[in-house]
Structure 1
Amino acid sequence: MTPIKITSLALAAVLGAVSGGCMATESGGPGGVREQTLTIAAALDINSFDPADGVDGHFPQYLQPVYDSLLRIGADGSVGPMLATEFRYTDEARTVLELTLREGVTFTDGAPFDGEAVKANLLNVKAGNGTLSTALVNLAAVEVLSAAKVQLKLWKPDPMLLRSLGQPPGMMASPKALGKKELKTVPVGSGPYTLDSAAVQIGKAKG
């Protein structure tokens, strides 16, 4: 058999608006938080948990459990709301994208998700070394209108921008963690899971 690399991520479930805002509970014990393990098999290990280092291919599957993105790409390829509950271009030239942000969201370190967090994240990705940082090459500025509203101002129209905001360039990390080397190994997001531990196992494919 061909050797493959299997990375096992032990992920502890956190407060989840995963299913109608309900928290997972132990069977037979109301109110208790249930810890679960998510195991992911991949051909490559992730290079960094910092969205600014994100690359396409195998790596988004590591980031999606721990980070929420501004927008969500559906199974049919459509773009819909996630951390941004509404999104629209305010000009005919489609160079100003306005996002209305979900309120009441906090990162796992307690920092609030707001307009300043969006600005810090997008500028962090734009300045990053990941291959997907070029997805924001047309981003000229991020203007924070309020805690729940931001405008992305572009140099020129970018038909791929909405899709990029549903991929690693649009994944939001705690602004307190941005720029710190620890973010490469310890993700700090608002997703339904937190990273408890990670280990790499070398094995063979079964079957």
Structure 2
Amino acid sequence: MLDQIDEAGKKLFLKMIQDSLFNAKTDADDLYRHLDASSREKETTKAHLLGLANEMRTKGFSIELPLQGSNNIKEGLITQIAIAELLADQFIEASFSEPDLEWLMLGAWQVQACLKKAAGSCLGLQLKIADISAIEKTLKARKAANARHDRAGGSREKAQKIRDIWASGKYTNRDRCAEEECGALNMSYSSARKALINRPAPR
């Protein structure tokens, strides 16, 4: 594919690949920060991956890499990012010594694909956390509101009192009932009138 490109074109193409790989390392750092990954977590993960790679070379058989992490989502994402970073380092080093451009191009694509997958998972994780946080806030707010309404002298008790007055037959007009009783119950007229909506006429 690259045989028809002249030397100047190959140098430009090589520079583009190297830039892509260096940018990938920057993207990896951004994703680590997004996950609040500590230096120890990053280095431990990379050391573990390098150990697996050495074992694969020594024993000559495939070892499944823990792409999803063994303990939690964050660990799996750090592993994905570390794989991309280690691959980027490998291809960057190779690009400065008689590079095979097609091999480097495929390598750069592999690194970017790994990072995109990790970035998508990071976004999904953050959205999940945000959803849970929003639900928790809503439930806490609702619980606090219910506590205020249900306490002695709260809005629900006042609403029930004016409904009881209306049901007693003292008034034949809901507007008048709300207007004359709201002050004594320490309610606004609108709240008192709202409490009487759809209440049956007194018998």
Q: Which has the higher strand share?
A: 1
Does TM, normalized by the shorter one, top 0.5?
A: no
Quick check: which has more Rg, 1 or 2? 2
Task: State the TM-score, normalizing by the size of structure 1.
Answer: 0.21
The TM-score normalised by the length of structure 2 is 0.22
More helix per residue? 2
